[in-house]
Amino acid sequence: MPNLPEVLPAGLEWLDVSHNQLSSLPENLPATLTTLAVNRNELTRLPEALPPGLEHLFANYNQLTSLPENLLTQLGADANVDLYGNPLPEQVLTNLHTAVSAAGYAGPSVMLPDNDASELSSTDDEQDASLTEAVAGWLRGNPKDGDREVLDAWRTSAEEPGAEEYALFLGKLFESVNSDNQEFQQSVANDLREAAKNPQLRAQYFQLAADANQTCEDRRTLTWNGMQTARLIADVENGVYDDGARLPDLIELGRVMFGLDALEGIAREKADSLGSVDRAENIDPIEVYLAYQNKLRERLGLQHVAPNMRFFEVSGVTDAHVDNAEITVRNKEAAEIADYLATDWQPWDDVVSRIAPDDQAAMQDQLIDAMGEEFDNRLEQQLADRGLSGTDSDLVEDAKRELGAEVRKEIAREIKGALRDRVLNDHGLRL
C-alpha cells in the first residue's frame, strides 16, 4: 500500500499500517487516535500536528530525517514514541536527548537510535543482528539498567539452532493483538531478561518457536504462553522457591499448572467435538486451546499468559463453554490438587528434596520397600475381591497389569502424601 486516504474515518482509535510502502501520512489524523503503528515503511516525515490523545506512536525503520517541531510537547507523559532504526541527523538526536533528559521533562518516552543500533547495523553476522535486533526492540519499550548485558547474552546464542526462527517469532509478536498492551510489553521484556541468564531456557525457547511462525497469530500467542510456563518451571529448577518463605508461592504455582493441565484436557475434548464430521465449520484446535486460556486468565489466575487473542470468534468456544470449564477445573482442583502436588507435579518433589532432604530420602526408601511385599499383598487382595485369586489365565495377567498400576499409585499417594502434609505442617501451611 503506497498511500492512505487523506481523510480517515472519524472516531478511529487504532491504526496499524506497518510493513507497507507509505512515504507520507495524512496531515490531519483523527483526533480520537490513540495508537498509530507505521513501522517499516518509507516515511521521511511525520505530520506536524499529532492527535492530542495519542498514546503509542510506532515509527521504527522508516526514512525519517526530521521530526515535528513540537513532538515532545504535543504528547503526554504516558505516551511512548518509537523512532528506532531511522536515519535521524546527529543534531536532531542530540536535541532530543537533551530535551528528554532535562529536569522537569513531562513529555512522552522516546526510543531513539543509539549505539546499540549502530552496532547492530554494522555487524557482519546477519543472524546475530536479526536476533539481537528483535530482543532490543522489546527492551527499548521498557528500558532498565543492565540491558546491554542482556543483549550481549542473547548475541552469544545467535548462531544456535532455532535462533533465527525465534528472532522471527519475536518480530511477529510486535504485530500481534497484544503488542500495544503495556502489561504484555513489560512481560516480554522481563522474560527476555530472565532468559538471558539461562542458556537452557533460551534453547527451549528456540525449540518451541520452530513451528510457531508457520501458522496464524494465535498459534504464536499460544506458543508464547507455553514459553512463560517453561520459564516458571525453570525458576523452580533454579532454586527460586527453595526458601521456605516461598512455599506458599510454590503451592500457588502448582494450582496454576494444575489448572492449565485440566484446561488442556477440556480443550482437547472440545476441539474433538467441534471438529466432528457433523459440523460444517473448520475448527482450528489452536483457537480452542487458546480460547480457554484467554477467557479464564483472570478467573483462574493464569497471569503469565497473554491477555488477548485475535480470533476468539472463530474458535467455536462460547461463554457457556468457558463457564462450564471453570466449574470443572475448580471441582477437579478441590478433589485432586493434594495428590497432584504429592505424586504428579515434579517441581514440588524437586523443592522438597532440597528443603527437606532427609525426609525426602526416607520417603524414597519407604516407597521402595512398599513396592515389595506390601505391593504384592495389596494386589492379591484386589484380585481376590474380583474373584481372580489363585487362578492362572490371560485374564488374570491382564488384571494384574491394570490393577498393579492402580496399587502403585495408591501406595505412592499414601507415602508421598504423608511427606507433603509433614512439609506443609512444618511451615504452618495447609491446602
How confident is the model over 260-317, as pLDDT tens digits?
Answer: 999 999 999 999 888 764 444 557 889 999 999 999 999 999 999 999 998 898 889 9
State yes or no: pLDDT of 123 exceeds 60.
Answer: no
Set of cell numbers at residue 53: 490523545
Quote the mean pLDDT of the chain.
89
Output the pLDDT for position 175: 83
Mean pLDDT of the region 411-429: 96
Instruction: List Cα–Cα distances, 178 to 43, 78, 227, 295, 409, in angstroms.
Output: 25, 18, 16, 14, 42
Q: Could you tell me what percent of the chain has a pLDDT over 70?
A: 93
State yes or no: pLDDT of 129 exceeds 70.
Answer: no
17, 93, 216, 322: which one is catalytic? 216
On whether the CB atoms of residues 38 and 18 are closer than 8 A, the answer is: yes
Based on the residue annotation, tell me whether 208 is a catalytic residue of this protein. no
Output the pLDDT for position 282: 59
CATH class of 244-350: mainly alpha
Output the pLDDT for position 391: 66
Model pLDDT for residues 212-254, shown as the tens digit of each residue:
876 678 999 999 999 999 999 999 999 999 988 999 999 999 9
Output the pLDDT for position 392: 66
Return the CA Rg of the chain: 28
Report the alpha-carbon distance of residue 312 to residue 217 in Å, rounded: 12
Q: CATH assignment of 1-113?
A: 3.80.10.10
Which residues are registered as beta bridge partners of 35? 14, 56
Output the pLDDT for position 284: 81
Mean pLDDT of the region 347-355: 96
Model pLDDT for residues 29-49, shown as the tens digit of each residue:
999 998 898 988 999 999 999
Q: Where are the domains of the chain?
A: 1-113, 115-214, 244-350, 357-426
Between 390 and 282, where is the model more confident? 390
Output the pLDDT for position 197: 94
pTM of the predicted model, to two decimals? 0.68
Model pLDDT for residues 220-229, shown as the tens digit of each residue:
999 999 999 9
Output the pLDDT for position 90: 87
Mean pLDDT of the region 156-171: 91
Model pLDDT for residues 366-377, shown as the tens digit of each residue:
999 999 999 999
State yes or no: pLDDT of 335 exceeds 50.
Answer: yes
User: Do 1-113 and 244-350 show the same overall fold?
Assistant: no
